[in-house]
Structure 1
Amino acid sequence: MKTIALYDEDAFAKDFTAKVISCDEAIIDNQKLYKVVLDKSLFFPEQGGQTSDIGHLDDHQVVDVQIEGDTVYHYCKGGFLIGEEVHGVIDWNHRFSNMQQHTGEHIFTGLAHNEYGAENVGFHLSDNTVTLDLNIELSEDMVEHIERKSNEIIAADVAIKAYYPKQELLGAIAYRSKKEIDGPVRLVEIEGVDLCACCAPHVKSTGQVGILKVVSYEKYKGGTRIYILCGLRALDDYNRRMKLLAKAYRTLSCKEDEVPDKIISLMDEGKQLKYRISDIKSGILMNQIESYPSDIPDITIFSEDLDAKIMRDGVNALVEKHDGLCCIFSGNDDDGYNFVIGSKTRDCAAIAAGMRELLGAKGGGSKQMAQGSVNATRNEIERTM
């Protein structure tokens, strides 16, 4: 059964009437839904890297739309009788947002192809993210250049056409496509910018994209993955970021453009404070170590919030004075302990192995010193040592 794709005919239509061809129950993610086939549909199914339209058929919510062959399946929260006439309404805000993002992707990848020979090898458009994958690495300057030119194209309000060229003419048309297509090919054309095979709805002109903003980019599989937002999504993201920035400079009691320097200053102060605290902790530990008589062979110290260097320095100091097993454990019974053990006479690697066997400890080391962590109580550790 071929479903007539009304979204191909008019991407800006919001509602339609159709006849129910079939309706079957379906369990999706432990939810009972109805898999409905209509003779025609305005709902764009998930394909081409883009998630589907959503909306309603009569009073029943359409939560997903899929396509298999030429048949479009609507997954609804309620069912219908075969032959029944239903009224479909798509979620227009969702549809228009997707059209803004998808058209923006065509502009960006079309320009990347024209300017740098980049091929679009991947695209994903969901309700949260828009990513496009190019097969070459782009520098920061190149990304900024394409972003700028994309917005110049948007401001120029260039017309966009979607059409099926005659099959006999297709071989003479130079268009972009991520894959080989069997059968009729639908082309989306932005004059002077891009000509690409695409099945999805698009806006009527580039001006309706509003704005294109590169949110971030990264190296990906030998090329570049670009994260973009367009139109109202870009506005929402801008407003979100501005609120965060405003909160930051109010919290830091500084002007907006002083935020980076203020953060650097606080980080430097934090590092210096951490060093001073570390020196104090080290001094307290060393005073404690000095208080133990040297004729006691085995020493075990339990403390909190000691870093690995302080613990190693402490064990080295203990080993200088004591001939037996010297241990420092840092932590608590709830979260477990980090440990460093050392000795001039005992095999620390063997002791660490025993802790692994008896207490499930992690770590190891040499005969002279071993370190690791253990999720056990102080009493359990003391009984084992």
Structure 2
Amino acid sequence: MKTIPLYDREPFAKDFSARVISCQEELNGEKKLYKVVLDQTMFFPEQGGQSSDKGMLDGATVLDVQIEEDVIYHYCSSGFLSGEVVHGEIDWDHRFNNMQQHTGEHIFTGLAHNIYGAENVGFHLSDNTVTLDLNIEMTEDQVREIEYKANQVIAKDLQVKAYYPEPALLPAIDYRSKKEIDGAVRLVEIEGIDICACCAPHVKTTGQVGLLKVVSWEKYKGGVRVYILCGLRALEDYNRRISILSSTYQTLNCTEDELPNRVSGLLSDNKDLKYRISEIKSKALIEQIEKYPSELNDVTIFTEDLDIKNMRDGVNALMDNHSGLCAIFSGDDESGYDFVIGSTSRDCGAIAAGLRELLGAKGGGNKQMAQGNINATRSAIENTL
């Protein structure tokens, strides 16, 4: 039996009554859930790239909602008897938040389609992330242009209409759709901005989206992936970012406007400091190397906090005076070691291969020199060498 989707025509309704058609007990890992089918529901199931509604069903928590062949399954914390009438209540804050995000996505994608001919080839709306994938590359200026125009559309408070057109009229309607649809087609239309096949609940007017903010974007599969946040979710993100920013410039004892230069100065100072520390460590390493008698063929040094450049310079210095295996391992037994090995007489690539086989090391090289990292104790490494 198909479930009547009440959310289709009443997206702003918050509760409903329905009759239980079936209830099956299921195990999700070690957790027991109940798979409930109702004759009608206000709960939107996960589909079209959007996560499902949440809420309560007669005291039972609705944890997930899925749809299969027009049958909607509610995964609940407790079960019901077939035939009984239950009262459902959706988590309205979650529903409205999702409606803001989804309508915002329609506005952005509709504008990108109208202005640049972009097609939406992917959409994902979870509780944390909203992404839309367009099949064309876009510049920063183009993305910001669409963002600005989207907020102009929001400010105009245009009507958002969701409806099922007469099947005979559908071929004459120019609407967006990522795939072929069997059966009735539900369209969501913002006049002059977008008309798109969509199964999800939406706000009544664009003004209810509140605002649209592009958080970031990146090249993706020959096009662009855009991350957006709308309405209350955008406000929460803004407050989070302002809190981080405020804490940062207070810690650095500067004003907000001075923050970029202060951070740039700290990075420059840190780079200079690292260079000076590296020079000191390099000098100390060379002094240590010079103390080894030239009669030694093999020399292995274990130390801490050396970068790869210092290690390579050190191994080269060892190879000038020692004809056997010259190796430097930097790290500790707990977190592992980076290593550089070199030799004028031994095959370092083969030695690295042996360390990979016997101790699970990573890395490699050629006959003269090899480098990598290894999670093993100093004793195990020395015994293997």
The two structures have a TM-score, normalised by structure 1, of 0.94
Name the structure 1 match of 2:76.
76
The verdict on how the C-alpha distance between 1:168 and 1:274 changes in structure 2, with shifts beyond 3 A counting, is same
Partner of 2:189: 189
CA distance in 1, matches of 2:318, 2:236: 60
d(CA) in 2 for partners of 1:356, 1:199: 54
Q: 1:155: which partner in 2?
A: 155
- The number of aligned residues is 385
Cα drift, residue 324 of structure 1: 3.8
Q: 1:289 to 1:189 in 2, by over 3 A?
A: same
SS at match of 1:171: helix
- Counterpart of 2:264 in structure 1: which amino acid? I
Corresponding position of 1:200:
200
**Mapping for residues 52-91 of structure 1, pairs under 5 Å:** 52-91=52-91
| C-alpha distance in 1 between matches for 2:201 and 2:362 | 56
Give the letter for the 2:378 counterpart. R
Superposed counterparts of 1:44-193, under 5 Å: 44-193=44-193
- Secondary structure at the aligned position of 1:279 is classed as helix
CA distance in 1, matches of 2:48, 2:346: 66
Q: Does 1:27 align with 2:36?
A: no
Mark the CA change 1:342 to 1:45 in structure 2 (over 3 Å): closer, same or farther.
closer
Change (3 A) 1:74 1:248: same
Post-superposition offset of 1:200 = 1.0
- Aligned residue identity for 2:342: G
Q: Kindly tell me: are residues 40 and 271 of structure 1, through their superposed partners in 2, closer, same or farther at Cα, counting changes over 3 Å?
A: same
Instruction: Tell me, in whole angstroms, the C-alpha distance in 1 between the residues paired with 2:269 and 2:311.
Output: 24
- What is the rounded CA distance, in whole Å, between the counterparts of 2:225 and 2:355 in structure 1? 46
Percent pairwise identity? 70
Distance 2:100 2:350 in 1: 65
Partner residue in 1 for 2:342? 342
2:42 alignment partner in structure 1: 42
Paired residues for 1:310-321 under 5 Å: 310-321=310-321
Structure 1 Cα separation of the partners of residues 165 and 358 of structure 2: 74
Question: How many angstroms does 1:357 deviate by?
Answer: 4.7
Shift of residue 2 of structure 1?
2.1
- Equivalence map 1:229-244=2 (5 Å): 229-244=229-244
Determine the C-alpha separation between the residues in 2 that align with 1:363 and 1:60.
Answer: 54
Superposition TM-score, scaled by structure 2 size: 0.94
CA distance in 1, matches of 2:371, 2:304: 16
Q: 164-173 or 343-352, which moves further after superposition?
A: 343-352
Q: Match of 2:258, SS?
A: helix
5+ residue gaps, structure 1: none
Residues 1:340 and 1:4: Cα distance change in structure 2 (over 3 Å): closer
Q: 1:4 & 1:364 partners in 2: Cα distance?
A: 62
Match of 1:259 in 2: 259
Structure 1 range deviating more: 360-369 or 227-236: 360-369
Residues 378/165 of structure 1: CA separation in 2 closer, same or farther (3 Å cut): closer
Query: Is the alpha carbon distance of 1:21 and 1:140 closer, same or farther for their aligned partners in structure 2, counting shifts above 3 Å?
Result: same
Note the residue ranges of structure 2 that are not aligned, 5 or more in a row: none
Equivalent position of 2:372 in the other structure: 372
Report what 1:14 is aligned to. Answer: 14
Are residues 269 and 170 of structure 1, via their aligned partners in 2, closer, same or farther at CA, if it must alter by over 3 Å? same
